[in-house]
Every structure is written in structure tokens, then in C-alpha cells.
Amino acid sequence: MGMTMSEKILARHAGVPAAKAGDILTCQVDVAACHDMFFTVAGQIDFERVNRIADPDKCVILLDHAVPAPTAKDAHGAVKARAFVEKHGIKNFFDVGEHGVIHQLLVEKGFAAPGKLIAAGDSHTCAAGAMNAAARGFGPAEMVYVWCKGETWYQVSPTILYRLHGRFASQAVTGKDLFLYIAGVYGDATNMNVEFGGEGVGNMTISQRQSVATMCAEINAEFAIFPCDDVLREFLKERGDQEINAVDPDPDADYHDVRDIDLGKLTPYVALPHYIPNNCRPVKEVEGTEVHQVLLGSCSNGRLEDIALAASIVKGKRVAKGVRFIVTPASQKVYLEALKAGYLETLAESGAVITNATCGACYGGHMGLLGPGERCLSTTTRNFKGRMGDADSEVMLCSPATAAASALTGKITDPREFLGG
Amino acid sequence: MKFKGRVWVFGDEINTDLIFPHSAFRVSPEEQVKLVFSDNRPGWSSLVQKGDILIAGKNFGTGSSRPGAVLLKRLGLACLVADSINGLFYRNSISYGFPALQCPGVSTMFEEGDIAEVDLLEGTVTNLRTGETRQGNKLSQSMADILEAGGIEELLIKEGYMD
């Protein structure tokens, strides 16, 4: 029996010829990354007592959740991060000014690459699967374990294959809608890997794949992996990658389930409040729902393509009165590119507030929290109760196109009215 | 790896932000535990007694990498048994020495206040009031070793990686 992409990457990193669902393997980890919350939040692990690290060059440390520091506690966390980096000789450190949301930065800086096994102290680490890597989140204690020993254990999980066909019917339907459709129809993938295949993958941009892979954390997937096709190879070439260690699934790989999706039949989707699996609906079914805030950003949808799409929708129009439209780029690089391309100007002219690149309000940190009774329509990753502020606020999730269209009307709006399709 | 205790029953999709809310990010560990479930069940944390057992539905611990398991452990809970547990939450449970067991159907077995008996190595849960027993996933030996050590930090100290 052949292997899935997940099984191949784990087998390679365990130094064994084959891996199958149920195996527990000890694997060498290629990249181990943590962000500021590792250092800021008390009581997680006493990292100041770490006295040696297996390979400092495999460590990445960056500040993304609370930058620039909104509180003295956050500033203190950053002080501790800088001291840790200094103590252990970690050269891959990205401070304020060259920062970005961890999952975007791992891609921009070339750490996320085909065939890699990536560990990071953040649940959306599966995002790097868009780069044909096996990546998953770990808690703070286990991140220290990986730094110290260079390895950790993996239980090989069964894999669900989504075979994608055709192409999105219009610009108004995106990778985020594909994910929300999958989560809404098929529910969770707890204790399973999710892999993507089919000729439809080739019709998806890298940014769209990043959005989907990121969001797979929300269906509790272990790994979420896209194949290494010509579109990804072109992206890697432009990034300057010298060699590509692509991992392809075997034709006779053993899948838990194979599900076919016609991209052309998808429509804009939203996730209703408080949880995602089996809780998503076509935009058409909730059109007209009033929103107080619209947020465009995060590791899911804060990239240049997302901002460009939103700018094309709001160009020459005004954000509805009574609605706060907040745009948070996913990285300093994205911010600069969006600035140069004029997208930020277009958005600001429409009444949007452009923030610094950060995780920001997505995790309820800063710059756009909600008060009681408020509803936010957001392109971010989570809609948990109280996630973005008051326990009596609501978050609904959507694509950048739906977000921009809804910011103009103040109500959940089908973006096809603005983009056609 | 056997526990007997009074149960608290929670439903499906209990996420990390409910267990370890953002309001707990910038406070001391002593204050953090008081905030567990403050958004969905205010006041609950003060009712928990040492040795109590948490029973929940599907996808317990869905969400963030923040270690909710360590707060549940510090509250005094003996262990968690849920229909299903998010993979990252499960890893955190092991890493922080907080026993957790996946046992499909367990959420239908108990009323709050019942006494549960949990055998982690056998993977079994029994309701001592009704006598019903269910079989869940057995704990693997490698996970049991980490739990026995008290979690990863203890292991790293023992092996000399941490002072």
C-alpha cells in the first residue's frame, strides 16, 4: 500500500522506509518557531531555565500577536523574547519592523517549504501545508522540548483526501469559501490529516491555498497539505528557493475517505457564531444580517491578494455609516506592497482603518475589539464566543470579498453583486 | 493511572478560548485558574474540588495552542474524558501531565455530580451510579511515561536541558 503526503514526510523525518496510520514515530523537526505569546503569558513553561538548544539555526522567534506592544505586559514579553534570542544565539529573530503573522512570515522568509516538517507554537501552523510541508501546532512545553532535543513524537493519523475539480466561478468566490463549504458540509476532521489533490488545485492561487490550509485548524485537522504543482514551483522559484524536495502522494495511498468538490459550483459562504464545523451557510441564506464591524486580516486572509480584492470592491465607494471597517495586513511586507500598489489608499479613502501588521483583534488582543451586543463579520480564523472581545459579542467568518461588500452595506452581502458571477 | 471522582459535564466544541480566555493572558498563574470558563459558566472555577473529573462532548479543546490543560490541572481536576479531543489539546494534556482520555459516547453517560471511575491504561470509564462502562482509547506507554514524569518540563529538568 502506498503512502499519503503526510505519511511520506513523517517517514522521511523518522528515518524509516514507511509510515501508516496508527504508528507513533519520533521525527527530526526542520523548523521550530514561536511568537511573542510564548514569552508573554505566565505559567506556561519556565523558558528562562532552558540551558541548551539542539540547533539554534532551526529556531525561529518573532513578534506578531501584540505588536507594537499595546500593554506593558506585552512589552515585557518582548523583552524576554529578545533576551532568549541573545542567550541561545538564535539568528532567525524577527522584531517589530520586520514582523508579520507567524504563518505568513514562515512562508515569506522561506522556512515553510516542500517536504519540511515544521513545528510552531500556534494552532494555525498547518497553514504551511500550502507549501507542501507537514506542519502542526504545539503548546509551549512541547516547543521547548523540540528546541532542546530537535525531535518529538508524532502519531500518524488517517488522511482525508479532498479532490478539487474545475475553477471558482468568479473572483467573488475564494479559498475561504471553499474551506467554509468543507467545514459546513463535512464537519470536523478531528485526529485526521487533510490533503488536497485533483486538477482544481492548479486553478487556486498560493494565497487561496494558504487560506484553506490555515483554516484546517478549525476542523481540528492534524496536517493540511497541498501538493507541489507548477503553481507552487513558480512561487518557490520567485522566492529564490534553490532546491525543491517535493512530496507527492502515491497513487495507491490509503485514505480514510476521498471527497470530490467542484470548485465551479461553490458560492460565497459564512460561518455562523461560536463554532465552525457543521455551522456554515451560503451567504445568500444570511444576507441582510446587520454588522457593526468588518475585519479584513489574519493568517487566513491578510495577504496582498485579499487586500487587492477588497480594494477593488470598495474603490470609489464609502463604508456604511455605523460600520467600522478594519484592515490588518498579515505582514510588514504585505503592508508595504499594498501601500505601493495603492490598495491602502483606496481602502482608507472608502473609510477603512488600516492597522499595522499583527494578529491584532483576531485573538482579541488589540485594535478592533467588540463591545456587548456587537457583531463582527471577519476574514479571520475563529468565531468563538468572546474571541474578539465581550462575551456577548458575535463573530461571523467570511472571505475578503464578502467582508468588503458587507462593509459597504453594513449588512452581510453577497459579493457577486459587486464583482459579478 | 486510575481516577475516581465527582464529574462536571460540559457539551460539544468546548474551545481553548473558553478554557484559557484572553483575559488570562496578562495575569499571574493564580489568577489565570479563576478565569477558566468565565465566559460560558461564570463562577464554576470556585466550585471545583481536588480530584473532580471533567466530562465533555466532541472536539474538546478545539482552537489555540495556549495550554488550557495546565489550567485544568492547576484547578485540581484529576482528568478529562471527552467524546473526542482536539489533537493539539491532547498533546498539551500529555505535555503538562494532565491525563486525558478520548471515549466516544462518554458525554451521554453522566449527570453532573455522578461519580466516575477512569482507568487510563485500559481506556475505560465507568459511571458508579448507573454501572455503565465504556471503552475508549488506551493510553500508549510512551504517553504514560510523560504523564508519570509529571509532564515535559519535569522530563527536561531530569535530562539536564533545563536548570
The answer to the question of residue A115 being in a domain is yes
Q: Give the DSSP per-residue string, B5-38.
A: EEEEE--S--BHHHHS-GGGTTS-HHHHHHTTTT
Contact B62 A218 (CB under 8 A): yes
The answer to the question of residue A20 being in a domain is yes
Location of C-alpha cell 514582523? A99
The answer to the question of residue A148 being in a domain is yes
At A236, list the grid cell: 518557490
Nearest CA-CA distance, residue A49 and chain B, Å: 5
A97: buried, middle or exposed (CB in 10 Å: 19+, 13-18, 0-12)? exposed
Same domain, A274 and A259: no
Same domain, A233 and A156: yes
Length in residues, chain B: 163
Q: Is A122 on the interface with B (CB under 8 A)?
A: yes
The answer to the question of residue A287 being in a domain is yes
Q: Is A142 on the interface with B (CB under 8 A)?
A: yes
Q: Residue A36 belongs to what domain range?
A: 5-263
Among A74, A139, A157, select the one facing B65 at the smallest CB separation.
A139
CB–CB of A274/A387 below 8 Å? no
User: B-chain residues within 8 Å CB-CB of A64?
Assistant: none
Model pLDDT, residue A419: 86
Preferred mutation among A38, A53, A123 to probe B, highest tally of B CBs within 10 A: A123
Query: Which of A236, A263, A290 lies at the terminal end of a domain, its last residue?
Result: A263
Domains of chain A: total: 2
Q: What are chain B's domains?
A: 2-158 (3.20.19.10)
Contact B32 A42 (CB under 8 A): yes
Among A52, A188, A386, select the one facing B59 at the smallest CB separation.
A188
Which residues of A, range 346-365, sit inside 8 Å of B by Cβ?
Answer: 363-365
The answer to the question of residue A276 being in a domain is yes
Radius of gyration of chain B (CA): 15
Model pLDDT, residue A244: 97
Q: Is A382 on the interface with B (CB under 8 A)?
A: yes
Contact B21 A386 (CB under 8 A): yes
Model pLDDT, residue B142: 87
User: B-chain residues within 8 Å CB-CB of A45?
Assistant: 152-153
Location of C-alpha cell 460560558? B40
In the predicted model, residues of chain B with pLDDT beneath 70 are: none
Same domain, A84 and A137: yes
Among B18, B27, B65, select the one facing A385 at the smallest CB separation.
B18
CA A196 to chain centre: 16
The answer to the question of residue A82 being in a domain is yes
CA atoms within 13 A on the CB side of A371: 2
The answer to the question of residue A421 being in a domain is no
Same domain, A341 and A246: no
Same domain, A223 and A244: yes
Same domain, A44 and A126: yes
Same domain, A334 and A228: no
Query: Which of A263, A289, A306 lies at the terminal end of a domain, its last residue?
Result: A263
Query: Which of A213, A245, A263 lies at the terminal end of a domain, its last residue?
Result: A263
Size of interface A-B (CB pairs under 8 A): 144
Model pLDDT, residue A339: 98
Each residue of A146-197: pLDDT tens digit? Answer: 999 999 999 999 999 999 999 999 999 999 999 999 999 999 999 999 999 9
Same domain, A251 and A388: no
ipTM confidence score: 0.97
Number of CB atoms found within 10 A of residue B28's CB = 10
Same domain, A200 and A84: yes
Location of C-alpha cell 522530563? B155
Nearest CA-CA distance, residue A72 and chain B, Å: 10
Contact B84 A190 (CB under 8 A): yes
CA distance A308 to A315: 10
- A169 phi, psi to nearest 5 deg: -70, -30
Preferred mutation among A25, A29, A34, A45 to probe B, highest tally of B CBs within 10 A: A45
Contact B22 A24 (CB under 8 A): no
Each residue of B108-142: pLDDT tens digit? Answer: 999 999 999 999 999 999 999 999 999 999 998 88
Same domain, A226 and A375: no
Residue-wise pLDDT tens for chain A (421 aa)?
Answer: 899 999 999 999 999 999 999 999 999 999 999 999 999 999 999 999 999 999 999 999 999 999 999 999 999 999 999 999 999 999 999 999 999 999 999 999 999 999 999 999 999 999 999 999 999 999 999 999 999 999 999 999 999 999 999 999 999 999 999 999 999 999 999 999 999 999 999 999 999 999 999 999 999 999 999 999 999 999 999 999 999 999 999 999 999 999 999 999 999 999 999 999 999 999 999 999 999 999 999 999 999 999 999 999 999 999 999 999 999 999 999 999 999 999 999 999 999 999 999 999 999 999 999 999 999 999 999 999 999 999 999 999 999 999 999 999 999 999 999 986 5
CA distance A119 to A116: 10
DSSP character for A2? B
Q: For residue A93, give the CATH number of its domain.
A: 3.30.499.10
Same domain, A242 and A278: no
Contact B39 A386 (CB under 8 A): yes
Same domain, A31 and A95: yes
The answer to the question of residue A419 being in a domain is no
DSSP character for A410? S
Model pLDDT, residue A1: 84
